[in-house]
Amino acid sequence: MSGRGWGMARAAVTLAFFVAVAWLLRDELRTLDPHEIFAVLSDFSPVRIAMALLLTSLCYALVASYDRLASRQASVRLPCALGYAIAFVSYALNFNVGAMVGAVGFRYRLYSQAGVDAGRIGAILACSIVTNWSGCLTVLGAMLIADPSAIELGWDLPAATSRLLGLAALAPVAAYLIATRLRRAPIRVRGVSLAMPDTRFALAQIALASAYWLIVPLIIYVLRPPGATFGYSQVAVAYGLAAVAGIAIRLPAGLGVVEAVFLEIFRSQLGGAAILAMLIAWRAVFLVAPLAVAAIVLIVLELRGRPPLKSAVARR
């Protein structure tokens, strides 16, 4: 299939997913009473909000560490504070306004200001993407195998189906580990040569990203409304499935996709207003609050400009 054909096919899949999400949310949004949502939000205790904010800080420290790990692989050495600041701003913008702005646009701008060349920025970006999705698929696969109840709740599918889906999620991670063991030649992506990491590095990627993908659903679980009976593992599966579905629909922070998946799975246990209130609180804590901090950090980085560094590239 030609490049144009692939582009049209991808657009068709994206449109199909978007229509499906809109259809899933349509009936729920028609019957929702905003007063019910506000009532649930007003019941959140300051202690839970503080716990969620603390976990959010840990999440951003972990996700910023993706870039620090990738920088080592790309032979880039930046001051620790600067490296974490660039990564934090990039991910906060990525989660809120989309990958092209945060993951690509601002990452290139800020790393370039720090003296890193485009090839190495691309290597950092590629390595961070692999890190993120290896953790997502590891956690999702393990959770689907260990606790199939989320699939049973949402779609009335047998436990065996959930476990098969879990194995399917783990397959790319296993293939990646095998590749790091067998392949030594670099990989070329759009003309850029990327060094193949060794297995030890790949395991570090998986461990780091798995910690992140375990904590994000924990934030949602901490913000669950009173009377919620679902378990943490069910939330982890729902969030992982929403993340995978969000690949098809390129909306920032999976807007609408997360809501559709959670409503589909937990509607029988919790009312729609309570589910949406929980997710609104999560978006405020996990997305909006870090974005406000990232805006301040970005201003500082922009005022700082290009530092007088001899080189950001490590000499071997």
Mean predicted confidence (pLDDT) in 48-75: 95
Q: Is the pLDDT score of 21 beyond 80?
A: no
Mean pLDDT of the chain: 85
Q: Is the pLDDT score of 47 beyond 50?
A: yes
- Give the pLDDT confidence score for residue 316 in this predicted structure: 43
Counting runs of H as helices and runs of E as strands, what totals does the chain give?
13, 2
- Give the pLDDT confidence score for residue 34 in this predicted structure: 74
Mean predicted confidence (pLDDT) in 77-90: 94
CA gap 212, 100 in Å, rounded: 22
Are the CB atoms for 278 and 69 separated by under 8 Å?
Answer: no
Would you place residue 308 in the very low, low, confident or very high pLDDT band (cuts 50, 70, 90)? very low
- Give the pLDDT confidence score for residue 314 in this predicted structure: 55
Would you place residue 20 in the very low, low, confident or very high pLDDT band (cuts 50, 70, 90)? low
CA torsion sign for 283, 286, 287, 291 is positive
pLDDT digits (tens, 9 = 90+) for 229-273: 899 999 999 999 999 988 866 666 667 788 889 988 998 888 888
